[in-house]
Structure 1
């Protein structure tokens, strides 16, 4: 057993010494520690950028949703002032818009808590829902003018 231990320890010492010499001969910034550090910094930067992009999109979408909610309130207020067939028509249109509005709000809520690649998928859903809602409201406003 003693005869086996000495060669193993000697081999380990030589491997450590060789690894240290390899690190010494490596140009600055290319050692394994430096590469790991740079990779970590790159990941942090990408994560920060993605978070910032998501936050900017969420802010924009929230502003659009606030504007759409305001327009919906205006339509409801207008419907209260109308009577007869005009009121019935606008009430139906509002009823059709409400589920779209709720769906867009839910998608935005889901997006706020999403991370990683999931938020990119949800971003498309939020954009589409807001776009469809804007078109529907525009048609409603044009139709009752």
Structure 2
């Protein structure tokens, strides 16, 4: 016979004593999917025009969509995953500026992490975080990560 109290005890063990909210599992950014040091360590994250911290995000292994986007000022950045999830195209568009496109081929992926040459992506609750070491646009910061949300 199945013990019906076990799931309830597990849920209660996740709740904090200050109001019963479930505590988020921290995002592990110690290494990338290939075991090398993560490109995301110690960085702030740009979410639209606001700087946030890594501790504000919870890891997730589910790809919510194949298209993601964010805005930085008047610029729109989009990411599109290839159907086989082996690459992405990141587009940068801004009024009055020619659209720029960067293609990244992943060398590894797994457990919510994707890595390409000079790029790392981590899936998080509500979207993904991406860092580009050598973006093709001066408007995309290489010294911080950028949060992208699923695109409709």
Give yes or no for TM over 0.5: no
Of structures 1 and 2, the larger Rg is shown by 1
TM-score by length of 1: 0.23
**Higher percent of residues as strand:** 2
TM-score (norm 2): 0.22
